[in-house]
Amino acid sequence: MTADGKKILVITSDPKKDAPDLFIAPTTAKKPDDLTGKTIDISEIRLRIDPVQEWNEEFLDAWRIHRDHYYDHALQGVDWPGIRKHFEPLLARAGDRSDLDDVLAQMVAEIGAMHSQIIPAKSTEKPATSLVASLGAHLVREKNGFRIDHIYQGDKDLPDQQSPLAAPGVDAQNGDIISAVNGQSTVNAPDLSVLLADQASKQVLLTLSRNGKEHKVIVKAVSASDERDLRTRDWEVNRAEAVEKASKGAIGYLHLGGMTGEDMESFTREFYANIDKKGLVIDVRGNNGGNIDSWVLTQLMRRPWMFWARYGNAPSVNFQQAFQGPIAVVTDERTYSDGEAFAQGIEALHIAPVIGERTAGAGVWLSDGTRLMDMGSARTAENPYFDMQGRWLVENKGVKPDIEVENMPVATFNGQDQQLDAALDYLQKQMATHPLPALKPEPFKHPVSTGQ
């Protein structure tokens, strides 16, 4: 709005256009139906940017953001003006934007908060990781190519989460040899990534050999980040199958890898699929955080207090879909941020024991609104939390498990999961000593007939 309040700049978005429309209108007017000839053309505007000057301004902004928004205005007793004087001279030696990130990271590290972090500026350049592609499988080098040792498994009900080699219509199996990629022999390739460079999201022609016979398939390679997600899903499927087998179907399993909207969807799908199990493992190892802990805890706090039983139908409880059996929550040192708030809530509300390792210790939350001018970020720890008696929680100390179990390296390498085993052992003991009562209604009492 202009200073006199009479005119306003309006920005409208149109999905069919590359850029939004801008026009100026009186504040008392309605938006015109036809913008022809009324929009402002900014396509020829050019800005002169002095990177060194910009980096100096961003350094000062990051320093001020922590001075003004950090949860402890005393900044842990650190001499914050002195910290500025110490690091500011290093800006003269910065050669690119990543050098600035390095200086900022060292500066904010002086106050030691887990959520005070530096996020690089957005760039139009393709990241180096985009050049790395994968087929979504563990491969082993052989004399005649690369053997498919294990195709990563995903939820079979979600086709879009499958490995490229497990996609519908792709005839690939464990044990097949990849002898060529896009017609290039794999025999002398030091690693398959050499032949898959810059192939992420592109169709790739593979020549596979099975029992001495060759055939060709077309797959769409995935990026390095997507390949990481495939490995995680494979790990999840493996844990779920292990729980199913060890408990003979009596105990359910779900993994929460984060606390975002997608994780809410995942929890809903997996939790209600296991609602009739006699026990449940909730695994938050490697949880990257987010902000849905309260919602998840709400689902787990629901307790049945009565049930319906009608005409021989299976009984159903109220609260509807309340889990009735014992729960075990598994954490590790990579359980982070909101994953830790969830684990702390599990303990504080006496919902279940926490089993595993002490969590990361990132307990001061943030708004994430501390952007710099080039859309980098100087994330600032802003919101500490305390228990109902006012005692400090989580930050720099994590959540201590009720039952501490370490996954030993050699056992883990050999396929054992000692933390999951401990959770299963706890649940099986609880199920044996405190079995769920059968939902059996008492007989109806009828008035005695007098025969009249």
What is residue 427's predicted lDDT score, i.e. its pLDDT? 98
Domain coordinates of the chain in residue numbers?
1-46, 52-119, 137-221, 250-363+398-433
d(C-alpha 365, C-alpha 384), whole Å? 6
Structure tokens at 353: 């024991």
What is residue 78's predicted lDDT score, i.e. its pLDDT? 96
**Residue 89, SS3 per DSSP:** helix
What is residue 42's predicted lDDT score, i.e. its pLDDT? 81
**Which among 45, 410, 367, 230 is positioned nearest to 238, based on CA atoms?**
230
What is residue 165's predicted lDDT score, i.e. its pLDDT? 96
**Residue 429, SS3 per DSSP:** helix
Q: How many CA atoms lie within 13 A of 437 on its CB side?
A: 8
Q: The CATH number of 137-221 is which of 2.30.42.10, 1.20.1260.10, 3.50.50.60, 2.40.30.170?
A: 2.30.42.10
**Which among 335, 238, 359 is positioned nearest to 287, based on CA atoms?**
335
Cα three-residue angle 277-292-342, rounded to 5 degrees: 65
What is residue 33's predicted lDDT score, i.e. its pLDDT? 77
What is residue 452's predicted lDDT score, i.e. its pLDDT? 57
**Residue 36, SS3 per DSSP:** coil
Beta-strand relationship, 184-185 and 203-210: unpaired
What is residue 443's predicted lDDT score, i.e. its pLDDT? 85
**Residue 118, SS3 per DSSP:** strand
d(C-alpha 389, C-alpha 396), whole Å? 19
- Render pLDDT for 102-160 as a digit per residue (tens, 0 to 9): 999 999 999 989 999 999 988 766 667 778 899 999 999 999 999 999 999 998 888 88
Question: pLDDT tens digits, the chain, 452 residues: what are they?
Answer: 899 999 888 888 777 777 788 888 888 888 777 777 778 888 888 888 899 999 999 999 999 999 999 999 999 999 999 999 999 999 999 999 999 999 999 999 999 899 999 999 887 666 677 788 999 999 999 999 999 999 999 988 888 889 999 999 999 999 999 999 999 999 999 899 899 999 999 999 999 999 989 999 999 999 998 999 999 999 999 999 999 999 999 999 999 999 999 999 999 999 999 999 999 999 999 999 999 999 999 999 999 999 998 887 888 899 999 999 999 999 999 999 999 999 999 999 999 999 999 999 999 999 988 899 998 999 999 999 999 999 999 999 999 999 999 999 999 999 999 999 999 999 999 999 999 988 988 888 887 766 65
What is residue 208's predicted lDDT score, i.e. its pLDDT? 97
What is the CB neighbour count within 10 angstroms for residue 193?
15
CATH number for the region 250-363+398-433 comes to: 3.90.226.10
Q: The CATH number of 52-119 is which of 3.90.1150.10, 3.30.750.44, 1.25.40.20, 3.40.30.10?
A: 3.30.750.44
Buried b / exposed e along 24-39 (16+ C-beta atoms within 10 A): eeeeeeeeeeeeeeee
What is residue 450's predicted lDDT score, i.e. its pLDDT? 66
User: What would the DSSP string read from start to end of 293-354?
Assistant: HHHHHHHHH----EEE--TTPPPEEESTT---S-EEEEE-TT--THHHHHHHHHHHTTSS-E
